[in-house]
Amino acid sequence: MSNPQSPTSPEFDVITFGECMLRFSPPAGQMLEQADQLRVDPAGTESNMAVALARLGRRVSWFSLLPDTPLGRWITTRLDSHGVDVSHVIWTGDRVGVFFLEPGTPPRGSRVVYDRADAAVSFLKTDIVDWDIFANARIVHTTGITAALSDSCRIFTEEALQKAGSLGCRTSFDINYRAKLWSPDEAAHTLTPILHNVDILISTMADIELIFNIDGSPEQIIQELSTRFNNEMIILTLAEGGAVGWSEDTGFLRTGPHWVEQVDRLGAGDAFDAGLLYGILQDDLKSGLSFGTALAALSYSEQGDVTWSTLEEVRHLAGLVKT
C-alpha cells in the first residue's frame, strides 16, 4: 500500500516520460515468419518502470505523445489498469511505434525488429508541455532511449531535467544505451551535458565502458562518474547479476544476484529501476538495491515487458519477509 499523502506532499512520487510502443511476439518456440498469432503488449522503458512502481503502491504518472486512436488509447488503458496516472498524455500525431520480438533459446538467439520511425513521441517538444507538472513530483525519471529518439526529444530531455531540478525535484536517469538508436560517440556527446543535471544516475557497467571509455572495478567506475558529473547517487548493474550503489551518505553498497529461469528477458532493467526508486523514496538506497535486483529477477519469469509482480513477492525474494 502507498504511504498516506499529507496535504503538502507532492501529488506523485515519480513522474516519468518517454516512448511506449506495441510489442508483438509469437508463441514461445516459434519464429515470426511461421507464427499464425502474435501476442501484443505495451512496451517502453519508462512506462514499464511506471507500471512496476505503481504496482508496488507508489503514486506514478507517465506522459508521452500518443495518437488519439484505438491504438493510442489501448496503451493508456493498459497503463491505467495498473494504477499509472496518464492524465498528462498529449494526444497528437498519427503513429504508435511497434516492434516485433522473436524469442530465442540456445543455440538460436532472440531477434528484435523495430518500426518506430515518425511515431508521435519523436515530436516531443519543450513548448507543448506544462512544466508545472514537475512541481507535483518528488522524482522525475527518464532514460537515454528518450533522448535518442530525435533531436527534439534530446532537447526536451535536457530541458526537462533542468526544469525538474529548478522546481525542487530529484532527477533520475537510466542511460539504457541502444545501439540501434545511436553510436557510442553520439550517445557520449548527447548525454554528457544531460548527466550534469542528474541526481540519481543508473547504468550497466557495460554501457559506461562503451560510451565513456571508463573501465575498472564498479567502485572505480563510480568514482570516475562522480568526479565527471557530481551526481548525488550512482548505481551500476553488473553483467553477472546484482548491483553496486553509491551515495555520499552511504558510501558503497552491493547486492548479489538471484537465480532466474528466463521466460522473457525484456523489461528487467526497467523493473530494477522501479525497485531502486521504491527504496530511494524511503531514503534507503540499500533496500532500493535489494528491491531492484529482486524485482528484476521476478520480471525474467514473466511474459511481456511489463512485470505484474507484487510488493509481497518482491519483499519475499529480497529476504525482507520471514518464511
Supply the residues annotated as catalytic: 270
CA-angle at 97, arms to 177 and 76, nearest 5°: 100
Three cell numbers at 9?
A: 506532499
Dihedral over alpha carbons 80, 120, 118, 45 (to 10 degrees): -40
- Identity of the residue numbered 89: V
Pairing of strands 170-174, 111-115: unpaired
The SS3 call for residue 56 is coil
Pairing of strands 243-247, 251-255: antiparallel
Find all residues with CB under 8 Å of 281, minimum gap 6, and list them: 13, 14, 58, 138, 139
Of the candidates 282, 271, 276, 237, the one whose C-alpha atom is nearest the C-alpha of residue 47 is: 271
CA terminus-to-terminus distance, the chain: 21
DSSP 239: T
CB 217 within 8 A of CB 233: no
- Identity of the residue numbered 195: L
CB 317 within 8 A of CB 52: no
CB 246 within 8 A of CB 289: no
Buried b (16+ CB within 10 A) or exposed e, 247-283: beeeeebebeeeeeeeebebbbbbbbbbbbbbbbbee
